[in-house]
């Protein structure tokens, strides 16, 4: 316990104390703290256990790259594992738990893994646990997974809401540090539409811990004033707590806004996270730079911290890292830290500089050790000493905190999300974003500019150039005066440290250490992509933000080449992890997918319909009545009633398309395989639409209501597909035709009235004469209803095989008209029926649906061979239909199937085998496409597609269902089970 | 049953208006929507429609190349609709969509923010001024959006999806109400 809160300083609100717990222990912090700063303020150096070796780990960074301080926040459905304590804002009542330890963080049995480390090196699971082989799945893997891990997700549902939103701007600035603020101010003052995003709670970035002054103001005050000016501009949107996580095609950026992750009780009307898709004319990446760790022995011990993080905790949060701090630096930034620590009266024991000279003239109290490195550390759960290696000698110095400053890597991830590869700059000793990015610029530390004044100037200049290119006039930029900046950070990379003692970690989160990298290279996995996968370096949730560059440097050194030659692995979204909640957005529960409701939905509901989801539609499936125990009882009753009296069925979901124009008939003649050119006005015709390959695409009736106006119906499932197909035909295939297409599916409430009493019932509401003579089978006309109170379209068409009509009325009147028909039919026994009954009725008649039109059948397969026009010059599918394979006699053909024993049954999907054939797939001759119990036949009946089926009526076969182990003797038969002469259509 | 008078059941009859100082969501009357589809190659159809459709009472909304909606608050009698269709010919075809589409109005200073949760269309007045229309997805549902005032939008949606879209819009508006 050596870190502590200073008595003054920092941006935390010392008048706003907050209580929180860590592993159940009550602790205190201040408003403005992160969980990490509050833990440090309470002297909690040990905050987690490492992934593989369960080594004690402390807080390494002060930002998004944190690999160690991963904790679980919250409880119940709000449990959030793997939360970076460095990013989590403190709030009253926050509950945090450490992870990957048992039984406790202080005493973790898993730490025994450290003793096994000789066997757990890179790729150990490729070499060990090889035998006995069955134990891998049953024992080895579960044990390994249990021993190595992160936090555990909750099994409870998340009570909070999430959503997505779009935003548009001229200039998107990513990062509200000095560069980003300068850029946003410049563009905002020029009148551009600006969005400025930053992952932090406060704008300012490095200004929040910088001790420089800008125009005489403290850096943090400059940031506050700049953001206040931005917020006052109506053309600027400042989005804090928002991480831009990806750059996508069309200059769209993904970002996640943590709206209420910093409060204990989220407001119900607000989401907790919002996923943004930001469309930017241009973007400026001002994401800053990440400090590189140094790879020395024990560099993961609690108390070892990045120098810039230590400076952040000191200056922004008023937290001292320890009582005796050492700084291991490869650049001048270590001296700025020393200066700030000493100004806060925190002892700096030593500055260990790997260089022979520094760019700053250090005059503090710390012992300055040049041309030296830290090669190891000591301590158990926190650092107690460092071992300094200089000139072949090693010296031990007692410390309780160590800062490491290994130079800076520009944060260029987003600039590489669209295929660009980072390029190594020997001058900057860093990977830089590729040149010539379209729609994206970089500025400031993200472009390896580190001097504060230069960052401000560069942000303003880039922004000015961008908005000027949009044609906006930019007011003259007046650059603020910077004083007290620690200067540039040019560093000489120090990949390999001599005399390393103990494990020197490269990837902290995945426990990849120096020897693992060496092992990968020596075993032939020296390509950066192979080394990554062999060692798992860079594969943790931090995606190697700290580790990748060091791994590349070490591989380069081992291979004797430049980092440029090694290159980087591929940068992909997401920059930091994004919750599934944010990705899902609002599409959960009631909002999971849209519901498409028929205009007769409420009519069906009040008649007790049981609904079934058909795509997005809710269709009435059957209408149970009192006393009926099973759905079959209801369906049998409905089926019998339609054939005996009449039934009313909602068929509004059928696709309906109005086709008009002077070439509408010619158009239909080309779209359908049968003739439509001479269809008389007032008549409907069943049509088959083929694909170019000759297979049937869809079917339905199309009626000619006027000379140049047709009313097409499609199947429910293919309604949108047929509309698209027709549009393609009209726009791309035959643009010379005058044809216009309008989807009218939703305009009409359409109901089928079927049964011998249908006409009698319907005549009560239809004003015109609909006798068989006046309105025969396949008549189709606009009709007047209720004495002219309403107009609709009436079609005499039948799917049930009974005398039947379909009546379409304007949708808003649908329920009222259905009510009227039920009233008109009350004395005639009318009942509502659903799609189950519809299906039984059509199977009894051998009518096909998409069960049979399965994409592999041609018209002849279903008995429609004669419908295909031989005289039309062309239609879609005509050419390919001539292929001999599509006319072969052994093609699957539509046939009926009944069980030999009426008491037996079988299921749709079952295979049809020849009698006596072995029950194997090799014996398969076809399959049952549709089946139902027919109350008229008294048994199961089915339609099937069977090889040469149409000439095998009467043949005994076996219906075999291998999945359920069922085998049923059956007979092939005529697919029309009921009224084969169609006499009932004309009663 | 010539004495029977069918009653209209609006798609959003059961929905309560959502209203606050920042945002108001309300169903519009199920009046008239005529889908106009021009004959290929026709020119100056908009002015032709304007001459037919009594500009004061009707509004013309562009839908896609060669297609428009004529919208009106009141239902159009059957005869009048037939006359309009006849007047459109042969330059264009009229299709009655008065029942197939439902109109919703969303207005207020936060209306565009709420809508941006569903549509990728840039609704800034500089990019989407009054009178501009777009066919877009709002969440998962296709819709036709028109800016009808500085802070007011009209949404036209398929009747079957109207309730779902309303529920989605109410959810999107939650933080502003």
> Rounded to the nearest 10 degrees, what angle do helices A178-189 and A219-231 cross at?
30
With respect to residue A757, please indicate whether it lies within any of the assigned structural domains.
yes
pLDDT band at B53 (very low <50, low <70, confident <90, very high): low
With respect to residue B11, please indicate whether it lies within any of the assigned structural domains.
no
Note whether A916 contacts B: Cβ–Cβ < 8 A.
no
Q: Among all residues of chain A, which has the CA nearest to that of B81?
A: A791
pLDDT band at B56 (very low <50, low <70, confident <90, very high): low
> Which of chain A's residues have a Cβ under 8 Å away from the Cβ of B174?
269-270
With respect to residue B7, please indicate whether it lies within any of the assigned structural domains.
no
Q: Where is pLDDT greater, at B2 or A502?
A: A502
Note whether B21 contacts A: Cβ–Cβ < 8 A.
no
When computed from its CA atoms, the radius of gyration of chain B, rounded to whole angstroms, is 17
A602–B9: do the CB atoms touch at under 8 Å?
yes
Eight-state DSSP code of residue A596? B
Question: What is the DSSP secondary-structure string of A743-797?
Answer: E-GGGEEEEEEESTTHHHHHHTTBSS--STTTS-TTBEEEEEEGGGTEEEEEE--
Note whether B40 contacts A: Cβ–Cβ < 8 A.
yes
Note whether A747 contacts B: Cβ–Cβ < 8 A.
yes
Q: 3-class SS at A713?
A: strand
Same-domain pairing of A603 and A734: no
With respect to residue A794, please indicate whether it lies within any of the assigned structural domains.
yes
Task: Report how far residue A501's alpha carbon sits from residue B55's, in angstroms, rounded to the nearest whole number.
Answer: 86
Note whether B86 contacts A: Cβ–Cβ < 8 A.
no
Say whether pLDDT at B160 is over 70: yes
> Which of chain A's residues have a Cβ under 8 Å away from the Cβ of B177?
269
Same-domain pairing of A919 and A781: no
Q: What per-residue confidence (pLDDT) applies to A742? A: 98
Q: 3-class SS at A172?
A: strand
Same-domain pairing of A683 and A714: yes
Q: What per-residue confidence (pLDDT) applies to A126? A: 76
With respect to residue B171, please indicate whether it lies within any of the assigned structural domains.
yes
Task: Report how far residue A453's alpha carbon sits from residue A457's, in angstroms, rounded to the nearest whole number.
Answer: 6
Same-domain pairing of A536 and A444: no
Same-domain pairing of A769 and A831: yes
A709–B93: do the CB atoms touch at under 8 Å?
yes
Q: What per-residue confidence (pLDDT) applies to A229? A: 98
Note whether A515 contacts B: Cβ–Cβ < 8 A.
no
The three state secondary structure string of A74-97 is CCHHHCEEEEECCCCECCCCEEEE
With respect to residue A383, please indicate whether it lies within any of the assigned structural domains.
no
A164–B117: do the CB atoms touch at under 8 Å?
yes
Task: Report how far residue A929's alpha carbon sits from residue A64's, in angstroms, rounded to the nearest whole number.
Answer: 56
* Strand segments (E) across A32-113: 48-49, 56-57, 70-73, 80-84, 94-97
With respect to residue A955, please indicate whether it lies within any of the assigned structural domains.
yes
Question: How many CB atoms lie under 10 A from the CB of residue A961?
Answer: 18
Burial class of A536 by CB neighbour count within 10 A (0 to 12, 13 to 18, 19+): buried
Note whether A637 contacts B: Cβ–Cβ < 8 A.
no
Joined together, the tokens standing for residue B97 give 């969509």
> Which of B38, B117, B164 comes nearest A163 by C-beta?
B117
Q: What per-residue confidence (pLDDT) applies to A934? A: 98
Question: How many CB atoms lie under 10 A from the CB of residue A884?
Answer: 6
For A54, A277, A601, A794, B29, the CA distances from B9, given in Å and listed in that order, are 67, 38, 12, 21, 11
A662–B120: do the CB atoms touch at under 8 Å?
no
Question: How many CB atoms lie under 10 A from the CB of residue A363?
Answer: 8
> Which of chain A's residues have a Cβ under 8 Å away from the Cβ of B172?
163, 586
Domain count along chain B: 1
Say whether pLDDT at B54 is over 80: no
By the 8 A CB rule, do A692 and A876 touch? yes
Eight-state DSSP code of residue A616? T
Joined together, the tokens standing for residue A705 give 């209501």
Q: What per-residue confidence (pLDDT) applies to A128? A: 78
Same-domain pairing of A647 and A665: no
Task: Report how far residue A886's alpha carbon sits from residue A890's, in angstroms, rounded to the nearest whole number.
Answer: 10
Contacts of A134 (CB under 8 A, 6+ apart): none
Task: Report how far residue A627's alpha carbon sits from residue A709's, in angstroms, rounded to the nearest whole number.
Answer: 48
Q: Dihedrals φ, ψ of A466, to 5°?
A: -65, -50
Q: What per-residue confidence (pLDDT) applies to A121? A: 82
Kindly state the average pLDDT of the residues B52-67: 83
With respect to residue A17, please indicate whether it lies within any of the assigned structural domains.
yes
Q: What per-residue confidence (pLDDT) applies to B2? A: 66
Task: Report how far residue A949's alpha carbon sits from residue A851's, in angstroms, rounded to the nearest whole number.
Answer: 17
User: Which residues 54-73 of chain B have a CB within 8 Å of chain A?
Assistant: none
Cis geometry, peptide bond prior to residue A574 (ω within 30 degrees of 0): yes
Same-domain pairing of A868 and A720: yes
Same-domain pairing of A274 and A181: yes
Question: What is the DSSP secondary-structure string of A415-431?
Answer: GGTTSPPPEEETTTTEE
Contacts of A575 (CB under 8 A, 6+ apart): A64, A243, A244, A245, A246, A413, A414
Same-domain pairing of A875 and A792: no
Domain count along chain A: 6
Note whether B35 contacts A: Cβ–Cβ < 8 A.
yes
With respect to residue B9, please indicate whether it lies within any of the assigned structural domains.
no
Note whether A593 contacts B: Cβ–Cβ < 8 A.
yes
- State how far Cα A832 lies from the chain centre: 42
Note whether B99 contacts A: Cβ–Cβ < 8 A.
yes
Task: Report how far residue A302's alpha carbon sits from residue A400's, in angstroms, rounded to the nearest whole number.
Answer: 9
Same-domain pairing of A172 and A265: yes
Task: Report how far residue A403's alpha carbon sits from residue A305's, in angstroms, rounded to the nearest whole number.
Answer: 5
With respect to residue A308, please indicate whether it lies within any of the assigned structural domains.
no
With respect to residue A189, please indicate whether it lies within any of the assigned structural domains.
yes
Range of the domain at A168: 162-289+411-472
Q: Among all residues of chain B, which has the CA nearest to that of A767?
A: B2
* Residue that the structure tokens 């426990």 belong to: A511
Q: Dihedrals φ, ψ of A153, to 5°?
A: -75, 155
Note whether B141 contacts A: Cβ–Cβ < 8 A.
yes
For A267, A733, A736, B36, B92, the CA distances from A728, given in Å and listed in that order, are 49, 7, 13, 20, 20
> Which of chain A's residues have a Cβ under 8 Å away from the Cβ of B139?
586-587, 591, 594
Same-domain pairing of A27 and A105: yes
Q: Dihedrals φ, ψ of A951, to 5°?
A: -105, 15
With respect to residue B8, please indicate whether it lies within any of the assigned structural domains.
no
Q: Which residues of chain A have pLDDT under 50?
A: none
Q: What per-residue confidence (pLDDT) applies to B50? A: 85
Same-domain pairing of A782 and A642: yes
Q: 3-class SS at B150?
A: coil
For residue B132, the distance in angstroms to the closest alpha carbon of chain A comes to: 17
Torsion angle of C-alpha atoms A645, A648, A654, A659, degrees rounded to 10: 80
Task: Report how far residue A196's alpha carbon sits from residue A201's, in angstroms, rounded to the nearest whole number.
Answer: 13
Range of the domain at B95: 18-176
Joined together, the tokens standing for residue B66 give 């060669």
Task: Report how far residue A142's alpha carbon sits from residue A125's, in angstroms, rounded to the nearest whole number.
Answer: 13
CATH of the domain at B50: 3.30.1360.120
CATH of the domain at A774: 3.30.1360.120
CATH of the domain at A934: 2.40.30.110
User: Which residues 451-510 of chain A have a CB within 8 Å of chain B?
Assistant: none
Joined together, the tokens standing for residue B8 give 């209209």
With respect to residue A667, please indicate whether it lies within any of the assigned structural domains.
yes
> Which of chain A's residues have a Cβ under 8 Å away from the Cβ of B168?
586, 591, 594
With respect to residue B80, please indicate whether it lies within any of the assigned structural domains.
yes
């Amino acid at each position: 316990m050596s870190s502590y809160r200073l008595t003054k300083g920092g941006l935390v609100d010392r008048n706003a104390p907050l209580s929180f717990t860590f592993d159940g222990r009550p602790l205190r912090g201040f408003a403005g703290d992160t969980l990490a700063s509050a833990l440090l303020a309470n002297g909690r150096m040990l905050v987690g256990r490492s992934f593989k070796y369960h080594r004690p780990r402390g807080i390494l960074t002060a930002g998004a790259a944190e690999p160690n301080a991963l904790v679980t926040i919250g409880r119940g459905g709000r449990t959030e594992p793997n939360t970076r304590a460095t990013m989590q804002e403190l709030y009253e009542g926050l509950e945090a738990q450490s992870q990957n330890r048992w039984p406790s963080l202080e005493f973790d049995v898993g730490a025994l893994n450290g003793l096994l480390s000789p066997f757990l090196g890179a790729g150990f699971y490729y070499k060990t646990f090889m035998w006995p082989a069955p134990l891998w799945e049953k024992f080895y893997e579960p044990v390994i997974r249990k021993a190595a891990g992160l936090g555990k997700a909750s099994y409870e549902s998340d009570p909070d809401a999430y959503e997505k939103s779009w935003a548009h701007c001229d200039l998107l600035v990513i990062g509200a540090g000095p560069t980003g603020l300068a850029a946003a101010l410049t563009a905002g003052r020029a009148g551009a539409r600006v969005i400025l995003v930053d992952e932090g709670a406060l704008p300012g970035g490095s200004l929040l811990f910088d001790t420089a002054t800008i125009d005489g103001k403290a850096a943090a005050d400059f940031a506050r004033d700049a953001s206040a000016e931005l917020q006052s501009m109506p053309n600027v949107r400042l989005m804090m707590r928002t991480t831009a996580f990806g750059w996508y095609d069309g200059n769209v950026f993904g970002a996640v806004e943590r709206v209420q992750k910093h409060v204990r009780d989220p407001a119900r009307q607000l989401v907790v996270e919002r996923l943004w898709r930001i469309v930017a004319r241009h973007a400026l990446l001002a994401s800053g730079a990440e400090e590189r760790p140094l790879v020395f022995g024990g560099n993961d011990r609690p108390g070892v911290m990045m120098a810039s993080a230590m400076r952040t905790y000191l200056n922004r949060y008023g937290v001292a890292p320890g009582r005796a701090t050492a700084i291991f630096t490869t650049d001048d930034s270590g001296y700025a830290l020393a200066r700030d620590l000493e100004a806060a009266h925190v002892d700096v024991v030593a500055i260990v500089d790997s260089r022979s000279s520094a760019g700053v003239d250090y005059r503090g109290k710390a012992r300055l050790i040049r041309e030296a490195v830290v090669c190891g550390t000591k301590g158990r759960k926190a650092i107690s000493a460092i071992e300094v290696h200089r000139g072949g000698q090693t010296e031990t110095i007692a410390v309780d905190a160590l800062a490491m400053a290994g130079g800076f890597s520009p944060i260029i991830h987003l600039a590489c999300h669209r295929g660009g590869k980072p390029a190594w700059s020997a001058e900057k000793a860093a990977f830089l974003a590729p040149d010539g990015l379209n729609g994206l610029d970089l500025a400031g530390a993200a472009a390896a500019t580190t001097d504060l004044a230069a960052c401000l100037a560069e942000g303003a200049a880039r922004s000015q150039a961008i908005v000027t290119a949009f044609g906006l006039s930019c007011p003259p930029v007046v650059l603020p005066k910077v004083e007290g900046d620690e200067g540039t950070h040019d560093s000489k990379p120090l990949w390999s440290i001599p005399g390393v003692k103990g494990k020197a970690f490269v990837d902290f989160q995945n426990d990849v250490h120096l020897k693992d990298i060496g092992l990968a290279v020596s075993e032939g996995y020296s390509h950066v992509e192979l080394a990554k996968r062999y060692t798992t370096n860079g594969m943790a949730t931090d995606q190697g933000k700290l580790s990748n560059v060091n791994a590349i440097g070490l591989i380069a050194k081992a291979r004797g080449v430049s980092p440029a030659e090694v290159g980087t692995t591929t940068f992909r979204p997401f920059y930091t992890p994004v919750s599934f909640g944010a990705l899902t957005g609002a599409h959960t529960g009631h909002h999971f997918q849209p519901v498409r409701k028929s205009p007769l939905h409420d009519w069906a509901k009040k008649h007790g319909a049981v609904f079934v989801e058909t795509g997005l539609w809710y269709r009435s499936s059957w209408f149970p009545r009192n006393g009926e125990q099973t759905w079959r009882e209801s369906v049998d009753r409905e089926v019998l009633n339609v054939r005996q009296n009449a039934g009313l069925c909602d068929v509004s979901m059928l696709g309906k398309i109005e086709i008009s124009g002077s070439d509408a008939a010619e158009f239909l003649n080309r779209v359908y395989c049968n003739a439509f050119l001479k269809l008389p006005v007032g008549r409907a015709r069943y049509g088959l639409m083929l694909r170019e390959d000759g297979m049937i695409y869809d079917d339905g009736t199309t009626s000619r209501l006027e000379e140049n106006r047709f009313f097409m119906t499609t199947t429910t499932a293919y309604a949108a597909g047929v509309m698209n197909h027709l549009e393609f035909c009209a726009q791309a295939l035959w643009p010379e035709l005058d044809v216009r297409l309008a989807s009218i599916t939703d305009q009409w409430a359409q109901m089928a009235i079927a049964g011998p009493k249908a006409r009698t019932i319907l005549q009560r509401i239809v004003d015109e004469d609909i006798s068989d003579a006046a309105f025969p089978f396949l008549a189709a006309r606009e009709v007047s209803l209720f004495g002219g109170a309403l107009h609709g379209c009436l079609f005499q068409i039948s799917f049930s095989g009974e005398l039947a009509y379909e009546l379409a009325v304007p949708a808003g009147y649908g329920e009222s008209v259905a009510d009227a028909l039920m009233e008109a039919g009350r004395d005639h026994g009318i009942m509502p029926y659903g799609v189950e009954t519809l299906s039984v009725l059509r199977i009894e008649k051998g009518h096909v649906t998409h069960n049979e039109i399965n994409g592999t059948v041609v018209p002849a397969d279903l008995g429609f061979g004669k419908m295909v026009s031989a005289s039309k010059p062309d239609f879609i599918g005509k050419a390919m239909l001539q292929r001999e394979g599509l006319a072969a006699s052994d093609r699957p053909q539509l046939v009926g199937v009944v069980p030999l024993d009426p008491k037996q049954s079988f299921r749709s999907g079952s295979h049809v085998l020849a009698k006596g054939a072995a029950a194997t797939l090799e014996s398969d001759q076809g399959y049952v496409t549709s089946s139902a119990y027919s109350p008229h036949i008294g048994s199961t009946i089915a339609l099937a597609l069977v090889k040469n089926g149409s000439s095998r009526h009467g043949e005994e076969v076996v219906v075999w269902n291998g999945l359920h182990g069922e085998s049923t003797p059956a007979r092939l038969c005529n697919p029309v089970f009921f009224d084969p002469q169609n006499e009932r259509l004309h009663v | 049953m010539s004495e029977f008078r069918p009653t209209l059941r609006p798609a959003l009859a059961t929905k309560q208006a959502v209203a606050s100082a920042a945002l108001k969501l309300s169903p519009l009357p199920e009046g008239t929507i005529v889908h106009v589809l021009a004959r290929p190659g026709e020119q100056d159809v908009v002015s032709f429609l304007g001459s037919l459709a009594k500009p004061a009472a009707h509004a013309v909304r562009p839908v896609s190349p060669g297609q428009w909606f004529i919208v009106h608050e009141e239902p159009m009698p059957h005869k009048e609709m037939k006359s309009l269709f006849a007047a459109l010919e042969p330059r264009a075809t009229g299709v009655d969509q008065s029942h197939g589409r439902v109109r919703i109005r969303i207005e207020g200073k936060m209306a565009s923010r709420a809508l941006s949760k569903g549509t990728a269309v840039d609704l800034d007045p500089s990019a989407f001024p009054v009178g501009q229309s777009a066919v877009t997805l709002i969440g998962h549902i296709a819709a036709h959006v028109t800016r009808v005032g500085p802070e007011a939008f009209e949404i036209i949606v398929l009747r079957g999806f109207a309730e779902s879209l309303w529920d989605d819009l109410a959810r999107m508006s939650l933080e502003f109400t």
